[in-house]
Amino acid sequence: MARPMTTTLPPFPIRTECPPGACNCGRDALLEKPAGDLRVLRLTREDEKRLLHRLENLSSLSDLRGMEERMEQQVGIRLSISTSPNVVRSLRGITILVHEQPGLCRKTRQAIPAAIKRSLAQRPEISYEILNVGGLFEN
């Protein structure tokens, strides 16, 4: 006899599911795992909009690093920001990667780096600081 699958909802508001076929985030599979990391589901669409707005308006490299840390602590989103191996000394030489994780929407994984790039375009000094990390002119 087959046992019906049940999902237990966490005690906090969670992100609504994406339309069928639009995303492969694994939200339902994550909800079915009793020991899964559900923090990413706390990122509702409204919270995502606020996060993207905040990422678009970074004021410094330390602000960016602080946001990276808070995103990992609060919702489990990990970023990797690195310079290109070709050492292009511009915004194009910066690679921003959002690590995949169950429950993180594909659109969100694309929107976060785009928001950070817009912020870096508005404040090129942050880009220069990133490019100088480990370089000759690092403080």
Per run of 10 residues, the mean pLDDT along the chain (length 139 residues) is: 52 72 75 76 89 96 95 92 69 83 87 94 89 62
Write down the pLDDT at residue 121: 92
Q: How many other β-carbons are positioned within 10 Å of the β-carbon of residue 56?
A: 16
Residue 105, pLDDT score = 86
* Confidence at residue 91, expressed as pLDDT on a 0 to 100 scale: 64
Structure token digits, residue 41? 């589901």
pLDDT of residue 1: 45
How far apart (Å, rounded) are the C-alpha atoms in residues 64 and 86? 23
Q: Which residue has the tokens 């290109």?
A: 84
pLDDT value at position 2?
47
